[in-house]
Amino acid sequence: MPSSNPVFGRGLQNAGPGYGQQTGPWGGAPQYGAPQYGYGTQDPYAASPYAQSPYAPPTTRYMTMDDVVQKTGLSFLVTVLSAAVTWALLPQELAFGLALPAVLVALVLGLVIAFKQIANPVATLSYGALYGIALGAISEAFNQVYPGIVMQALVGTFGVFAGMLVVYKTGAIRVTPKLTRWIVGAMFGVLALVLVNLVVGFFVPGGLGLRDGGTLSIVFSLVVIGVAAFSLLLDFDMADEAIRRGAPAKFAWYIAFGLLITVVWLYLEILRLLSYLQSSD
């Protein structure tokens, strides 16, 4: 089923079919057992010493949940380390100066990864490192105004991630086509409101009031956090579906990229919500 995460919608179409079955000629029914050859015929796969018989053990290693966990964990680690280095070692002016170029490059790289369905460590880890630079500068700026807010946002993000993983694994909320349509629609709705608020902000101070720190801003941030949290359910389901389809092991880097997008979005929105709450005290 489709995912809310844009990198999964097209990527899983080419993730590969499940293994363990062999289709008959011209897309016929699956056939099992060894082939039968009549008098005067030979196994066509024996004609070349380089040919791989479909009845031989597969040479491609299929993706497992361990692959997803390892690649996703490494991607998060690179992002966090990049953010920490930016915050701790770079002067504040330099960090802010690098933030915008890093976001723009990461945006372009992310679009290339998503639309070309690139699944390799260089692309995913580069994306994480670039976004880490921006996150380090943004987090430092928020923490200077609201001391301790970054740690609170990290705890909140981890809590939401862990909670949605438990919800998914226990089946408390099942990922159905109807739920998928609702979440995808909510994502487009959030994006549309953000863009409208930005455009209106050029003419009216504060725009629609979605980001000015008032009560409406708090409500809107809670809605966005909810949408991002439910997007995690769809991303978890996409990982399971890729495993069921017999995707190659390297596809785990593509899934890690998609999860990284959702978690970064969730962290930034929680950080924003906490800033609203602290400024209203």
Nearest Cα to 2, choosing from 225, 174, 241? 241
Q: Read out DSSP for 1-26?
A: ---SSHHHHHHGGGS---SS-EE-GG
Report residue 248: phi and psi, to 5°: -65, 160
Q: Note whether residue 109 is domain-resident.
A: yes
Instruction: For residues 32 and 21, give the distance between their C-alpha atoms in angstroms, rounded to a whole number.
Output: 7
Half-sphere exposure of 185 (CA within 13 A, CB side): 6
Q: Note whether residue 245 is domain-resident.
A: yes
Q: Note whether residue 184 is domain-resident.
A: yes
Which helix (H) or strand (E) is 29 found in, with range? none
pLDDT at position 279 over 50 = yes
Confirm if 86 and 95 have CB atoms less than 8 A apart: yes
Q: Which domain covers residue 199, as residue numbers?
A: 62-279
The whole model's pTM is what? 0.78
The pLDDT of residue 79 is 96
Q: Note whether residue 36 is domain-resident.
A: no
pLDDT at position 211 over 90 = no
Q: Note whether residue 37 is domain-resident.
A: no
Instruction: For residues 161 and 177, give the distance between their C-alpha atoms in angstroms, rounded to a whole number.
Output: 22
The pLDDT of residue 209 is 86
The pLDDT of residue 186 is 94
Instruction: For residues 157 and 161, give the distance between their C-alpha atoms in angstroms, rounded to a whole number.
Output: 6
Least confident of 55-59, 100-104, 249-253: 55-59
Q: How many angstroms from the chain centroid is the CA of residue 161? A: 12
From the CB of residue 220, how many other CB atoms can be counted at a distance below 10 Å? 23
Of the pLDDT bands very low, low, confident and very high (cuts 50, 70, 90), residue 94 is: confident
Q: Note whether residue 12 is domain-resident.
A: no
Instruction: For residues 242 and 195, give the distance between their C-alpha atoms in angstroms, rounded to a whole number.
Output: 33
Of the pLDDT bands very low, low, confident and very high (cuts 50, 70, 90), residue 19 is: very low
Average pLDDT across the chain, whole number: 82
The pLDDT of residue 48 is 42
Q: Note whether residue 14 is domain-resident.
A: no
**Average pLDDT over every residue of 125-140:** 94
pLDDT per residue over 80-93, tens digit each? Answer: 999 999 998 888 88
pLDDT at position 154 over 50 = yes
Looking at per-residue pLDDT, the higher value among 47 and 273 belongs to: 273
pLDDT at position 9 over 70 = no
Q: Note whether residue 271 is domain-resident.
A: yes
- How many domains does the chain fold into? 1
Confirm if 131 and 103 have CB atoms less than 8 A apart: yes
Least confident of 42-46, 241-245, 252-256: 42-46
pLDDT at position 31 over 70 = no
Nearest Cα to 135, choosing from 181, 78, 192? 78
